[in-house]
Amino acid sequence: MSKISVVIADDHALFREGVCRFLENEEDMECVATAEDGEQAVKLTQELLPDVVLIDVAMPKVNGIDAAKQIKAVCPGTAVVMLSAYKYNYYILACIQVGVEGYLLKDMPRSALISAIRLVHAGEGVYNLKAVGKVLSELATNRVRGKSVLSKLNSRELQVLRLAATGMGNQEIGSELGISKHTVATHFVNIFRKLGVESRTEATLYALKEGWFTVEDLSQHRTGN
């Protein structure tokens, strides 16, 4: 019986080497390569055509989500599972949009990861249920609100929301836009009220779902492109 070939992509050497080591203990799996950044992950996948790629969301050069998108475009037969330390809703939504087979948190038991690899290789999807359940609940709520909200946000509020989605704090947003952090805070009060949300994460999820900006937009801003 042929083994499930796996590529592990993570910028932390100890993590990728540790995962590779325990995969090698499974009779039906083999780690065929490891990558330290997203660019290398895409290249190795194209060269080796593994059955499964495990890739961290936060990666140098090319982030995990963009790398996964490239992998699915050129190697549709390879199953991709995103690994992350974060439950951020916009990461999960982006992974669903890209079409990867799974989104799992790094604190899961070793046995759960082994099972997940077997499941995606068999054509199943593996997503952290609690995280995805929250996303689906918020998406359902947002649909009820309708799509007319964008017309209620002025251009400055949309700029503030876009910068917040890249991970900037109020001080950084203020410096970027030439306004005070207190003015930024006021904009957030208005944004939350108009969108009917209570946090930046919920506001970002809403904006991504409505297509006001994309994960690619946010990635380009983070890298300065």
pLDDT for 42 equals: 96
pLDDT for 217 equals: 64
pLDDT-wise least confident of 32-41, 104-113, 124-133: 124-133
Cα torsion 135, 75, 38, 70: sign: negative
| Helix (H) or strand (E) segment spanning residue 9 | strand 4-9
d(CA 44, CA 48): 6
At residue 225, does pLDDT exceed 50? Answer: no
- Per-residue pLDDT band at 90 (split at 50, 70, 90): low
Domains of the chain (ranges, CATH numbers): 4-134 (3.40.50.2300), 146-223 (1.10.10.10)
In this predicted model, what pLDDT tens digit does every residue of 50-80 receive, in sequence order?
Answer: 999 999 988 888 888 889 989 998 998 999 9
Across 110-119, 127-136, 151-160, the highest mean pLDDT is recorded for 110-119
Decide: 132 and 103 in contact? Cβ < 8 Å: yes
Give one DSSP letter per residue of 44-111, joined into a string: HHHHH--SEEEEESS-SSS-HHHHHHHHHHH-TTSEEEEEES---HHHHHHHHHHT-SEEEETTS-HH
Decide: 165 and 220 in contact? Cβ < 8 Å: no
pLDDT for 49 equals: 96
pLDDT for 135 equals: 60
| Helix (H) or strand (E) segment spanning residue 34 | strand 29-35
| Stretch 141-168: mean pLDDT | 71
In this predicted model, what pLDDT tens digit does every residue of 2-31 receive, in sequence order?
Answer: 899 999 999 999 999 999 999 999 999 999
Q: CB neighbours (10 Å) of residue 171? A: 11
Q: Please tell me the pTM assigned to this model.
A: 0.63
Q: Name every residue whose Cβ is closer than 8 Å to that of residue 11 and which is 6 or more positions away in sequence.
A: 36, 37, 56, 58, 59, 60
At residue 155, does pLDDT exceed 50? Answer: yes
